Homo-oligomer: A and B are copies of this chain.
C-alpha cells in the first residue's frame, strides 16, 4: 500500500494534465456538430487505458457514439470487476453564465477544477484508469478488471442495451463499479446505496392551427399555454403529492427505522437554503429534505416554452406550447409503467379543445445496493481505509439508469462509489470537481479492488 501511495504522489501532476487533455474535448453527445469530438474523446480514452496497462483496448462502434472497452485478465479464477463510466458530457448552455471556458479546464484557488465534465463524468471515470495504473505499475492487481466507457449517458444510453446483449460474454463480471455520483463531503463520506429512476416526457399541446390575436379570440379558444399550465399544476395536490392515479402504488414505503437511518445523513437546512439562495425548502408534506430527494418520487418540469418570448409585449394566443417533464422514481416503481400512467393521465385530462402529443424520452428504473452485499462492504472498507471513517449509506436523488440495465442483461449488481459533491454544478454552468476528491478517489479505488477480491473469495 506504501507503493500505491508513492506512485500516486510521484505521478499525480501528470494525472491531472492527462485529465485536462480529456476535458478539453467538447464531447457533447446530444450535439451533432460535436460528433468528431466524440471520436477524439473515445480515441484518447482508449490510449489512456493502454498506457495504464490493460491487455487490450478497443473502440466498438454503435448506431450512435462508440463504446470504449479495455480489460486486464490476471486469473480467470479470480473475481472480475467491470468499471463503467461515460466520456460524453452535457451541453453548456446557458454559456453566458460560465465564469471560465467550459472546455478549458481551470484550476482555481478554491481547490476545484472547473469545466464541463470535470465531475460528470470524465473526472470521475478517469480516477479508475489512474487507480488501475497504480495497481498495474506496482504489480499488485488483485483481480480481473474490465472497463466500459460509453458516449451516450447524457442522452439516455440508447445503444447500451443492445451493446451489452451483443457482448454478454466479453463483459461477464461479478460486479459493476461506477463513480458517477456524489458523497456528502470529504469529512463525512457516504456511499449511494440506491438511486432514483427516471421517466422523461415531452408534451406538446396544440390549440388553434395558427397563432391568433388574443384580443379577437381570447376567452373563446383554448390557449395551449393556459392548458399546459393547468395540466402541470394538476399533477400536484396542495401537499405536493402527485395526483396521478396509481403513481405511488409500487413505491417502497420505508419502515420508521429505515427512515430514521436515512435521516442520519448530514443535513443543515440553513446552510442548504443559503447555498441555493432560496427563502425556504419546498416539497412533499410529511417528508424531510433527505427523504424528498432520496426515497420519494418527484415531478419536475425541466423546460417549458410557447408563444412570444421576446422583449416587450405581443398579444398572441399561440398555436402551440411545449414542456419537458420528468419524474424521479424510487424502488419499486417502473419507468415503463409510470410513463404509461402519465401519458394516459395527460391525454385524459386535456380538454377536447386541444390536441396533446406526449413523447417519452429516455428513462431508467430505480436501483438499490443492499448494504450487506459484498460489493457494498468492499466499498465501505475502501473508504474507511483512506478516509479513516466509516461512510454512511444514503439514497441518491439522481438516476443511473444503467444500473438496472447491468442487472437485467449481465445479471450484475452495481456499486456506486461516487466522489463528487452535490455542489459540483452537474448539468449546470461552472461544473467543477474538487482536486482533493479526484486524488482521494484515485487513492481509494485500489482498496476497493483489494477488498472485493478478498471478500468475494
Whether, in the assembled complex, A362 has its beta carbon less than 8 Å from a beta carbon of chain B, the answer is yes
Q: Please encode chain A, from 289 to 303, with 1 for each CB lying within 8 Å of some chain B CB and 0 for all others.
A: 100110011111111
Tell me whether B283 and A302 are in contact (CB under 8 A).
no
Cβ 8 A contact of A316, one of B233, B302, B316, B328: B302
Interface centre among A200, A213, A215 (most CB of B within 10 A): A215
Tell me whether A90 and B314 are in contact (CB under 8 A).
yes
Tell me whether A279 and B213 are in contact (CB under 8 A).
no
Whether, in the assembled complex, A426 has its beta carbon less than 8 Å from a beta carbon of chain B, the answer is yes
Whether, in the assembled complex, A57 has its beta carbon less than 8 Å from a beta carbon of chain B, the answer is no
**A195 surroundings in chain B (CB, below 8 A):** 215
Cβ 8 A contact of A214, one of B97, B156, B326: B326
Once the chains are docked, how many angstroms separate the CA of A386 from the CA of B93? 59
Tell me whether B236 and A230 are in contact (CB under 8 A).
yes
Q: How far is the CB of A406 from chain B (nearest CB, A)?
A: 18
Tell me whether B296 and A219 are in contact (CB under 8 A).
yes
Whether, in the assembled complex, A428 has its beta carbon less than 8 Å from a beta carbon of chain B, the answer is yes
Q: How far is the CB of A380 from chain B (nearest CB, A)?
A: 22
Tell me whether B208 and A276 are in contact (CB under 8 A).
yes
Tell me whether B276 and A209 are in contact (CB under 8 A).
yes
Given A30-B312, A208-B277, A182–B321 Cβ distance below 8 Å?
no
Segment among A3-11, A70-78, A351-359 that sits at the interface with chain B: A351-359
Whether, in the assembled complex, A60 has its beta carbon less than 8 Å from a beta carbon of chain B, the answer is no
Tell me whether A210 and B305 are in contact (CB under 8 A).
no
Tell me whether A223 and B300 are in contact (CB under 8 A).
yes
Q: Please encode chain A, from 147 to 164, with 1 for each CB lying within 8 Å of some chain B CB and 0 for all others.
A: 000000001100000000
Whether, in the assembled complex, A234 has its beta carbon less than 8 Å from a beta carbon of chain B, the answer is yes
Tell me whether A215 and B198 are in contact (CB under 8 A).
yes
Tell me whether B93 and A310 are in contact (CB under 8 A).
yes
Nearest-neighbor residue (CB-CB) of A301 within chain B: B225
150-202 of chain A: CB within 8 A of chain B? 155-156, 182, 195-196, 198, 200
Segment among A13-21, A107-115, A394-402 that sits at the interface with chain B: A394-402
Nearest-neighbor residue (CB-CB) of A210 within chain B: B428
**A427 surroundings in chain B (CB, below 8 A):** 211, 213, 314-316
Q: How far is the CB of A265 from chain B (nearest CB, A)?
A: 12
Nearest-neighbor residue (CB-CB) of A324 within chain B: B308
Cβ 8 A contact of A233, one of B232, B289, B304, B355: B232
Cβ 8 A contact of A293, one of B196, B219, B315: B219
Q: How far is the CB of A431 from chain B (nearest CB, A)?
A: 10
**A284 surroundings in chain B (CB, below 8 A):** 219
Once the chains are docked, how many angstroms separate the CA of A328 from the CA of B218? 8
Interface centre among A196, A207, A214, A428 (most CB of B within 10 A): A214
Tell me whether A289 and B220 are in contact (CB under 8 A).
yes
354-380 of chain A: CB within 8 A of chain B? 354-355, 361-362
Q: How far is the CB of A283 from chain B (nearest CB, A)?
A: 5
Once the chains are docked, how many angstroms separate the CA of A217 from the CA of B397? 7
**A208 surroundings in chain B (CB, below 8 A):** 276-278
Whether, in the assembled complex, A262 has its beta carbon less than 8 Å from a beta carbon of chain B, the answer is no
Given A280-B351, A309-B305, A198–B315 Cβ distance below 8 Å?
yes
**A293 surroundings in chain B (CB, below 8 A):** 216-220
Nearest-neighbor residue (CB-CB) of A207 within chain B: B278
Cβ 8 A contact of A303, one of B230, B278, B318, B430: B318
> Known pairs A216-B422, A230-B232, A281-B353. 6 more at Cβ < 8 A?
A97-B210, A210-B425, A215-B396, A229-B301, A301-B306, A305-B306
